[in-house]
Chains A and B, each alone.
Chain A
Amino acid sequence: MNSEVVVSGMGILSAIGCGKQAFMEGLRQASCGIHGNVALRCGKPSPTPYGVVADLDLLCAKYLDAARLRRWDPVSRMTYLACVLALRDAELLDEENHWIGVDPKRIGLVMATGYGGLESTENLFRKVAEDSPQTANPSLFPETVPNAATGHLSIELGLKGPNTTFTQRQISTEAALHFALNLMEKSDLDFVITGAIEDLAEWGMISQLHCGVLAKGKAPSLHPFDRKRSGTLLGEGGAIFILERRERAAKRGVKAYGQILAKQIAGVPATHGSWPKGASAAAALLKNVRHFFEDHSIQPNDLSYVSACALGDPCLDQLEATFLHEAIGNKTPISALSGATGSFLCHSSLRLAASFLSLQERFIPATVGLTDPDGATLNHVMHKSQALKGNSVLLHTLADGGGQALTLVHRNGEKHA
């Protein structure tokens, strides 16, 4: 791991706030951004609550012209917005989107996505299936490919460096981050833009509802690790990060948020498309965590807290609680963000942003929706945020299909401006 690579900018879109300040306040106050009867882009009312990105239309109107708003898939619009916020935060782009002393050819772009342009996919296929392929709008097709967002970004900002897109279910963010850090380590690029964004699209919501993973009841709600959890609720958004070498950040006079000290992507057996299940899965997941701790000489006591991926699913949360208890005991604080923002495949990008901000601001976000912990005894952060000690957060993510990612986030440098 190249310890000299730091995060110097972040762009955040979430249901509890867009931009780092609003997001941080949302975290600090344990806000819940999941609401019922929200206006969805597909125009249909939905009784199911969702974590819709706050003020997205206002932001879009501010940053994108009418042609782009019309042509681009929502996930591309959101990716562009988050990227511009991140570049401005890193003081690389001015208010008129001009580069500040940067050669965009020396910037890499490594993004992750859940499904890419799902809304465009829906619209194109609807036309093909219900009308005729010959009436399909040709401009929709390029919006359906998962790398459409990075294509638009590179064209808009003139980014001619390496440009790639990853997907790996819930560990998509970590997959992109892994490659982005590889690039910074092995190439002479000045910056790499990385992160993950996902939007709520109609058929995505329908299919999740049909698969039975959403919270049940007349007024469904999301309760990570809680005894009354009955499923998850969907959200959207994500975060984009600017990676650069510490010396360059210092030379530019930009303070770093921190760095990724260690990372690991591994797997455990799982039935196709399903969550790992049972005692053997818990044992394999635990083994992976222990290997990670051994490889990087990590002690549970070193951790300020663990950012868990719990999403309110009855089995998954129990599984995560069981092996986290084995791995770290009951002293290290545990925090889960899905209760505030809703869950989605790129959700760990938000948890990564939350980790950097909480290390900087010295608080551990509370697990929104958790009041009555179930199962294994863990030191849950409930009701309100609490003071943070130490300088490291462990981000833990499980994916359906059997992927598991561990990321050690470390604070360094002084407070970011």
Chain B
Amino acid sequence: MAQTRNPNKRVVITGIGAVSGLGHTSTELWDGLKKGVCGIRELTFFDCSKQRTKLAAQVPDFLPKEYFSSRQIQRYSRCDMLGLIAAREALQNAGLSESIHKKEFNARRSGVVLGAGAGGSRNGEIYYRQVKKFGFRQAKPSLLLSYAPSATTDLLASEFQLMGFRSTIVTACSSSNTAMGLAADEISSGRADFIVTGGSDALSELTYSGFNALKAISPSACRPFDRNRDGLSLGEAAGILVFEEFEHAKKRGAKVYAEFLGYGLSGDAYHMTAPEPGGSGALAAMRNALENSGVRADQVDYISAHGTATPHNDLAEAKAICDLFGIEGKICTVPVSALKSMLGHCLGACGAIEAVALTLTLWNDCIPPTIHHQETDPECLIDCVPNVAREKKLKTVISNSFAFGGNNTSIVMQKLKETA
């Protein structure tokens, strides 16, 4: 069910920050994506010797002490740390760091809305093992401070003194797309000047074991939309975007990357882990997002797919894309790429890191590829931009995130004709 938009308050993206399997900044993210670099490698963050698979898109060379004090390392979860690093970059990038430092902004009209997944699960796992092994006296209750999925939202709000609206969405893989939609609502309704949004999620034993128990993880790096795809690769990331009211951005002369046009939600009401095979939920989310954005399907230049590389997801999503965008000749000609082939599936942060990538895709007029692609699935009638990035003038783009429980969210962005 699409929502109406307020055309008077436009929402633009003025800052981006990213930590991912491709590096610690949005620049490293874009360099990797453009070159088709695979961030999926041997998982070393925890012992996976007893796991069925051994790969994940783990943030490389991550040494917390390079970014945080020992007290912070004690209190923050890995998810908090990734989120905070990306937020620092995004606010710096937006030119807001100094205003925040000098408290020269209206704190009450700023906020934080994030999507979350496993959050501080890893801390809970360590705590559990400490209690079992040493008893309560030796276990550290401080590990539990950041267990809650909303801990990163609160942390960013306190760290940057963003004292207006805050919220955390926890719909697994669609969390951060919905978070960005809600952040945009707060701005377009006139309640906020800017919102720090996106999401952060870190690898944990629980999620890795859970997906393995479902036999959903590929033993090799995932191959979205490939005929021989055999499951997903997990990843971790933080993608943070500064959403700002256009006039506010204009007034302070901010660089505007793109405009966030709208979003659409839907529910599959079909199965806890599998998508509705005909792609009706995916189709409804995309259709609602376009309607909410005031955009027609034939105006869309590129689709950033959910593209998990599980047999069912990719098929259902490809069907929905063909139904909505049409088939010319033998396939749907709107380019579609699955960034999870490089970044892994970052669960609560997948929409966010893909939104940062989408922003850079629009900015650079360059579509990142779907890598590891060998043979297109004949049932997926799409152009999945195989293996090599493609230069293309872009104006309007859409990004999909679909989750367990049949929670679907699509978002739409556009290049801004009028820059701030």
Q: Which of B33-41, B142-150, B371-379 contacts A (4 or more CB under 8 A)?
A: B142-150
Q: Does A221 make an interface contact (CB < 8 A)?
A: no
Chain A residues near B167 (CB, 8 Å)? 166, 168, 175, 178-179, 265
Cβ of B154 and Cβ of A189 under 8 Å apart?
Answer: no
Chain A residues near B165 (CB, 8 Å)? 265-266
Chain A residues near B218 (CB, 8 Å)? none
Q: Provide the bound-state CA to CA distance between A99 and B162, in Å.
A: 44
Chain B residues near A166 (CB, 8 Å)? 167-170
- Give the residue of B139, B145, B272, B284 whose beta carbon is less than 8 angstroms from that of A151: B272
| Most-contacted residue by chain B among A113, A136, A401 (CB, 10 A) | A401
Q: Which residue of A lies closest to B170 (CB)?
A: A146
Cβ of A147 and Cβ of B164 under 8 Å apart?
Answer: no
Interface residues on B, range: 35 or more
Chain A residues near B146 (CB, 8 Å)? 272-273
Cβ of B139 and Cβ of A210 under 8 Å apart?
Answer: yes
Cβ of B3 and Cβ of A187 under 8 Å apart?
Answer: yes
- In A130-184, the 8 Å CB interface with B consists of 130, 132-134, 136-138, 140-142, 144-148, 150-152, 154-155, 157-169, 172, 175, 178-179, 182-183
Q: A109-B267, A137-B213, A141-B213 are in contact. Are A147 and B170 (CB under 8 A)?
A: yes
Q: Does B89 make an interface contact (CB < 8 A)?
A: no
Cβ of A134 and Cβ of B52 under 8 Å apart?
Answer: yes
- In A36-72, the 8 Å CB interface with B consists of none
Cβ of A162 and Cβ of B170 under 8 Å apart?
Answer: no
Give a binary string over B265-305; 1 marks a CB under 8 Å from any A CB, 0 the rest.
11111111100000001001000000000000000000000
Q: A272-B146, A273-B146, A273-B154 are in contact. Are A161 and B166 (CB under 8 A)?
A: no
Cβ of A169 and Cβ of B148 under 8 Å apart?
Answer: yes
Q: Does B163 make an interface contact (CB < 8 A)?
A: yes
| Most-contacted residue by chain A among B2, B128, B136, B205 (CB, 10 A) | B128
Chain B residues near A161 (CB, 8 Å)? 1, 265-267
Q: Provide the bound-state CA to CA distance between A155 and B50, in Å.
A: 34
Cβ of B267 and Cβ of A133 under 8 Å apart?
Answer: no
- Give the residue of A121, A151, A175, A288 whose beta carbon is less than 8 angstroms from that of B168: A175
Give a binary string over B151-174; 1 marks a CB under 8 Å from any A CB, 0 the rest.
101110110011111111111100
Chain A residues near B359 (CB, 8 Å)? none
| Most-contacted residue by chain B among A104, A140, A179 (CB, 10 A) | A179
Q: Which of B94-102, B247-255, B387-395, B402-410 contacts A (4 or more CB under 8 A)?
A: B402-410
Chain A residues near B149 (CB, 8 Å)? 146, 167
Chain A residues near B51 (CB, 8 Å)? 133-134
Q: A187-B4, A284-B163 are in contact. Are A125 and B169 (CB under 8 A)?
A: no
Q: Does B132 make an interface contact (CB < 8 A)?
A: yes
Q: Which residue of B lies closest to A155 (CB)?
A: B269
Cβ of A124 and Cβ of B206 under 8 Å apart?
Answer: yes
Q: Does B125 make an interface contact (CB < 8 A)?
A: yes
Q: Does A26 make an interface contact (CB < 8 A)?
A: no
Cβ of B182 and Cβ of A272 under 8 Å apart?
Answer: no
Cβ of A141 and Cβ of B211 under 8 Å apart?
Answer: yes
Q: Does B364 make an interface contact (CB < 8 A)?
A: no
- In A73-122, the 8 Å CB interface with B consists of 104, 106, 108-109, 113-116, 121
Q: Which residue of B lies closest to A142 (CB)?
A: B272
Q: Does B178 make an interface contact (CB < 8 A)?
A: yes
Q: Does A128 make an interface contact (CB < 8 A)?
A: yes
Chain A residues near B211 (CB, 8 Å)? 141
Cβ of B209 and Cβ of A164 under 8 Å apart?
Answer: no
| Most-contacted residue by chain B among A138, A141, A150, A172 (CB, 10 A) | A141
Beyond A163-B171, A186-B3: 12 further Cβ-contacts under 8 Å? A124-B206, A124-B213, A125-B124, A128-B209, A129-B125, A129-B132, A150-B407, A158-B269, A165-B170, A187-B2, A189-B1, A291-B108
**Could you give 6 example pairs across A and B, Cβ below 8 Å?**
A124-B213, A125-B205, A128-B205, A168-B150, A210-B141, A402-B157
